[in-house]
Amino acid sequence: MLRKTIFVSLVAGIVILASSCNNYSKILKSGNNTLKYETGVDLYEKGDFNKALQFFDILRAVNRGTDKGAKLTYYSANCYFQMKDYQIASYYYNQYAQTYPRGEFAQESAFLTAYCNYLESPRASLDQTNTYIALRELQNFIDMYPGSTKIEEAHRLMDDLRAKLEVKSYNVGMLYYKMGDYQAAITSFENLLDEYPDTDFKETILFSITKAYYTYAEKSIFTKKDERYEKTIESYNNLLYSFPESEYLEEVEEINTKARENLKNK
């Protein structure tokens, strides 16, 4: 008896679902845009974002520039956000912010445009295009809405993104160093220090620059050696000034001594 009841319930559920799908399909194909809008919003409010988008996609162009069009763009962005398709969500949030700058959700959409790109920002070892886009969008938001309650969060997100770029730059410099491309390593490290003067990697970077200049000098042609030994000594002094008790002190003192001896013997 129980099995029969379960079977009947399942059949009834399938019939209701099929009927519901047929009704949605009929509404989509109909010329009744008001009913389409009401159905799409109802699906949206019930959390059926994928199905709601079928209605919103049809209605956005028809209602562009109207209050209803603004809501459709915002609802579409939220659907993609809830579905974790942040790239498309960002597109629609940005479209809302640009098309409806005085709209009810303009400030929120401007922030979420940036936040979606923040969520799309990959780990430091990968291409950082989305990281740069997110930084630009967050700065745009800060400039446009300086009094927003989201300003503090926007700055925190920017700090997170910059930290990722800092790690990326450090890893690139270390990669050049390990490959033996000392000139590229030095340039990368010095650019990193210019951009992030308070980086947590500073001690290791100054140490690596000192070693790189010395090794570079050793491998250089005769006419270039003096200049690069002098750079070695300069880098050693920078490390010593910034970190007088550096963990690398013993090794760099030896490098400094050798560089000075090589200069004296010229």
Element (H, E) at 111: helix 106-120
Same domain for 266 and 193: yes
CATH classification of the domain holding 130? 1.25.40.10
Same domain for 42 and 100: yes
Query: 0.85 exceeded by the pTM?
Result: no
Residue 1 within a domain: no
Q: How many Cα atoms are found within 13 Å in the side-chain-facing hemisphere of 262?
A: 22
Identify the band that residue 266 occupies on the pLDDT scale cut at 50, 70 and 90.
low
Domain boundary among the residues 133, 167, 201 is at: 167
pLDDT of residue 222: 86
Same domain for 205 and 136: no
Q: Angle at CA 59, nearest 5°, toward 54 and 62?
A: 155
For 51, the domain range is 35-167
pLDDT of residue 21: 58
Q: How far apart are CA 232 and CA 214, in angstroms?
A: 5
Residue 4 within a domain: no
Q: How far apart are CA 106 and CA 152, in angstroms?
A: 18
pLDDT of residue 22: 67
Per-residue pLDDT of 129-159, as tens digits, reads 999 999 999 999 999 999 999 999 999 999 9
CA-to-CA dists, residue 254 to 112, 224, 234, 248, angstroms: 53, 21, 14, 10
CA-to-CA dists, residue 181 to 135, 158, 176, angstroms: 30, 31, 5
**110: pLDDT strictly greater than 80:** yes
Same domain for 258 and 195: yes
Per-residue pLDDT of 170-197, as tens digits, reads 999 999 999 999 999 999 999 999 999 9
Same domain for 146 and 73: yes
Q: How far apart are CA 90 and CA 96, in angstroms?
A: 10
Would you list the DSSP string of 158-221? HHHHHHHHHHHHHHHHHHHHHHT-HHHHHHHHHHHHHH-TT-TTHHHHHHHHHHHHHHHHHHS-
Domain boundary among the residues 105, 133, 167 is at: 167
Same domain for 132 and 195: no
Residue 24 within a domain: no
Same domain for 191 and 132: no
Residue 149 within a domain: yes
Per-residue pLDDT of 206-259, as tens digits, reads 999 999 999 999 998 888 889 999 999 999 999 999 999 999 999 999 999 999
Per-residue pLDDT of 4-63, as tens digits, reads 544 444 434 433 434 455 688 888 887 788 999 999 999 999 999 999 999 999 999 889
Domain boundary among the residues 144, 167, 190 is at: 167
Same domain for 191 and 163: no
Largest Cα–Cα separation, the chain: 103
Please state the domain count of the chain. Answer: 2
Same domain for 229 and 192: yes
198-212: average pLDDT:
96
Is the Cβ–Cβ distance between 102 and 92 less than 8 Å?
Answer: no
Same domain for 216 and 127: no
- Per-residue DSSP letter, 46: T
pLDDT of residue 246: 95
Same domain for 145 and 74: yes
87-102: average pLDDT:
96
Same domain for 160 and 47: yes
**64: pLDDT strictly greater than 60:** yes
